[in-house]
Structure 1
Amino acid sequence: MTRHDELPGPAAERGLGDFLVEAHDWLRAELLALRERLDTAPPDLGAQLRAHCRAFCAGLVEHHTGEDRGAFPALAAHFPALAPVLAELTEQHREVDRLRAEIEVLVGNTRPDAPIRRTFECGSTA
């Protein structure tokens, strides 16, 4: 994702877009940092990650549902120029939801004592 600093239009439109980009860039950086620390992780990291994953997935569903049903339609009504981008984001949310469902199955089917690197790499699409 890229920032929209140089795009024309009201600052509110650019500011919201920049916030979304920064939030998603942060999540990607966190996943990369986690992947780099897997070999030196404490023995209970797998159980911790599984618990956090379930909570994060639940929060992600709530967050994207709120955007798709509330924030995006409201933004499109106030800023019609954003409608195509918001429609694209809604489609991306559908893909994220499909991947989230696959991750939840993976997390649910993984033994609590399974090596975390194997579990993480099996679930990785990167």
Structure 2
Amino acid sequence: MTEGEKTRLTAWGHELRSVHNRLREALQVTRTALVKGEATELATRDLLLFCHGFCTALTRHHEGEDRELFPAIGAAHPELRDTLLKLQQDHSMIAHLVAGMQATVERRGSPVELDRHLEGIAAIMESHFRYEERQLLTVLDTLALDANPQEVLGPL
């Protein structure tokens, strides 16, 4: 195996951590916009933009994992199929929470309502990310998957 091939193989673990960190940052920006949104109409429009951007990025990340990454891991590591099923169930739960938040944003719900949605998403998302990293980073460091990282993990 050449150094270039080894770098490509180990990149998936790095890519996953990078995307998770960017989603954590996007969530924090969204929560900051919520606090500011109580004061001005401009900040409220920013909140709508940040919520939409965060929700879209998180959704695309999970859809890519379900479509590309998890089947590749399952094929290479059948012993992880139960873990992958649990992660996909988390994706479904997070999608439900994101849909609830998006509906609240669209009807211009109160900052208290929005904060409640963001708090729920944050808790489940962080638990999910930590579990996923504990269970899959070692596997990702050896996964041979020839695919575009943005299609597999969402926008970097």
Which of 103, 106, 115 lines up with 1:121 in the alignment? 115
SS in 1 for 2:54: helix
Specify which structure has the higher proportion of helix: 2
SS in 2 for 1:55: helix
Aligned pairs for 1:11-90 within 5 A:
16=13, 19=16, 23=20, 27=24, 30-31=27-28, 34=31, 38=35, 43=40, 44-90=42-88
Aligned residues: 110
- Correspondence for 1:91: 89
Q: Is the 8 A contact 1:54 1:104 kept in 2?
A: yes
Could you tell me the TM-score, scaled by structure 2's length?
Answer: 0.52
Deviation at 1:34, TM superposition (A): 3.4
Instruction: Tell me, in whole angstroms, the C-alpha distance in 1 between the residues paired with 2:114 and 2:54.
Output: 16
Deviation at 1:95, TM superposition (A): 0.2
- Correspondence for 1:107: 105
Instruction: Tell me, in whole angstroms, the C-alpha distance in 1 between the residues paired with 2:25 and 2:48.
Output: 18
Distance 1:89 1:32, change over 3 A: same
Stretches of structure 1 that go unaligned for 5 or more consecutive residues are: 1-11
- Correspondence for 1:5: none
Q: Is the 8 A contact 2:74 2:81 kept in 1?
A: yes
Instruction: State the percentage of identical aligned residues.
Output: 23
Instruction: Tell me, in whole angstroms, the C-alpha distance in 2 between the residues paired with 1:61 and 1:107.
Output: 16
Q: Which has the higher contact order (CA 8 A, sep 6+)?
A: 2
Q: Is the 8 A contact 2:37 2:47 kept in 1?
A: no
Q: Is the 8 A contact 1:110 1:119 kept in 2?
A: no
Stretches of structure 2 that go unaligned for 5 or more consecutive residues are: 1-9, 121-156
